[in-house]
Amino acid sequence: MDDSTLYGYYFVGLGIAVVIILAAAILLLLVRHYARRILKLATAALGLVVNVKENTNSIWGLKQTNIVAGDILEGAKAIESHAGLVAEALAETQNQ
């Protein structure tokens, strides 16, 4: 193999290596660009999630509200029952 053929193969190999390195560098830059874009979109989405959470806190409180409403209903029924007994007792005392 003479020197010109050897240099030819050398420059072809060097050219292929440069193309591969450039392609890898471009791919890394694209990955970096899209990673930043994903971070930006995720940050915006996090803000929306916080807003949704704040706006739906009242829904999560409905369980406790239902429990309290049940307690109030039981109290009202007890008052009604006792008021009926008092009314009956008053009616009996007025009839005597």
pLDDT tens string for the chain (96 positions)?
788 999 999 999 999 999 999 999 999 999 999 999 999 999 999 999 999 988 888 888 888 889 999 999 999 998 988 888 887 877 777 776
Domain ranges, ordered by start, for the chain: 1-59, 61-96
Phi, psi of 2 (to 5 degrees): -85, 175
Q: pTM to 2 decimals?
A: 0.53
User: CA 46 to CA 49: how far, in whole Å?
Assistant: 5
Q: In which residue are the tokens 């930006």 written?
A: 40
